[in-house]
Amino acid sequence: MKLKFVEERIFNLLMVLATLVVFGFFASIIWTIARTGFPSLTWEMVSQLPGGGFYLGKDGGILNAIAGSLMIVFASTLLGLAISIPIVFYINVYLKKASRLAYFARLSFDVLFGIPSIVYGAFAFTIMIFFGLKTSLLGGIIVITLLIIPIFVRSMDEVAKSVSKDLLDAAYSLGATKLESCGVVLRQIAPGIATATLLSVGRAIGDAAGVLFTAGFTDNIPTALNEPAATLPLSVFFQLSSPIPEVRERAYAAALLLTIIVLVLSVTGRLVTGRFSKNRIK
């Protein structure tokens, strides 16, 4: 009796500790970035392109990277959704539970999930060289799309798998075709799709290695798909490697901005997800 009580207390304590460690890391990351970056996070920083000598501590901002990142994330999220949703429906509605194709599809996505983004980048780079393409917005969009498809598919698949067969049967018995029944499943897994989108956006906006060889870097905002595009993570990387302290501070400001964008997206995402869950059947 007594021993059980002690045991309970110890494990309870361990759980609280583990949670606190994570919170601690989160807080200290935010603190480090904010403390160094906040003074440099001026209106000029977010509203202007890099001026001459920006990387030597002179004036200008990182609007090029903000715009490039948002363009790439927006486009690749849409593309990723458009490709992943049909895959998830094919695996879960069209293929039977014990289907070998479904098994291999899931396995492949698990493997793709674990491949580091630098490999995606290198792979895309080889292909781009083969076709004689230069670094461009399009290259960045494609590689980030490839990178987030496994995240999309696997996280939506987990949710779609848990949809009961009875729900499909209910739709079928009303005379719905498979495609029409997918519409029902879509409503049921809408919150899961929203969560998957949040995860993917977070990964997409923060990825540096994938876009390094494919999107390149530029001081301008791209106006066409074949122009190179700057991104926030690379902007952080380049400025952080500068010997000039002022530029390094700006790297923290850029990182802070990146974090704020992810945070805002996550919070709004959570709010929206709540609304999607309204009609879900438990």
Partner 1 sequence: MFATPSILRMFAHPAGSAAAGTTSTGKPPVLKVGKKPGSEIKVSNLNVSIGNNHILKNIDLEIPNNKITCIIGPSGCGKSTLLKTINRLIDDSEKVKVNGEIIIDGENIYGKRVEVTHIRRKMGLLSQRPIPLPMSIFDNITFGCKLHGVRNKKQLKQIVEENLRAAGLWDEVKDRLHAPASSLSIGQQQRLCLARGLAIKPQFILGDESTSALDPISSRHIENLFVKLKEKYGVVLVTHTLRQALRIADYVVFIYLGEVVESGPAKELFNAPKHELTKQYLSGVFS
Residues forming the site for partner 1 (CB under 8 A): 96-98, 164, 166-177, 180, 184, 187-188, 278-282
Q: Are 128 and 164 in contact (CB under 8 A)?
A: no
Give the residue with the Cβ less far from partner 1, 123 or 172: 172
63-89 and 245-276 helices cross at what angle (nearest 10)? 30
Give the residue with the Cβ less far from partner 1, 144 or 189: 189
Measured from the CB of residue 262, what is the shortest distance to partner 1 in angstroms? 29
Handedness of CA 31, 37, 43, 45 (dihedral sign): negative
Q: Are 259 and 33 in contact (CB under 8 A)?
A: yes
Give the residue with the Cβ less far from partner 1, 184 or 196: 184
Give the residue with the Cβ less far from partner 1, 2 or 282: 282
Measured from the CB of residue 3, what is the shortest distance to partner 1 in angstroms? 42
Give the residue with the Cβ less far from partner 1, 83 or 167: 167
Q: What does the alpha-carbon distance between residue 213 and residue 120 come to, in Å, rounded to a whole number?
A: 10
Those residues whose C-beta lies under 8 Å from the C-beta of residue 249, and which sit 6 or more positions away, are 36, 37, 39, 40
Measured from the CB of residue 185, what is the shortest distance to partner 1 in angstroms? 9
Measured from the CB of residue 179, what is the shortest distance to partner 1 in angstroms? 11
Question: Which of 191, 192, 128 lies closest to 154 in space, CA to CA?
Answer: 192
Q: Cα separations (Å) of 215 from 33, 83, 184? A: 26, 21, 38
Q: Are 74 and 136 in contact (CB under 8 A)?
A: no
Give the residue with the Cβ less far from partner 1, 105 or 185: 185
Measured from the CB of residue 103, what is the shortest distance to partner 1 in angstroms? 13
Measured from the CB of residue 191, what is the shortest distance to partner 1 in angstroms? 10
- Category of 53 on φ-ψ map: left (φ > 0), alpha (ψ -120 to 50) or beta: left
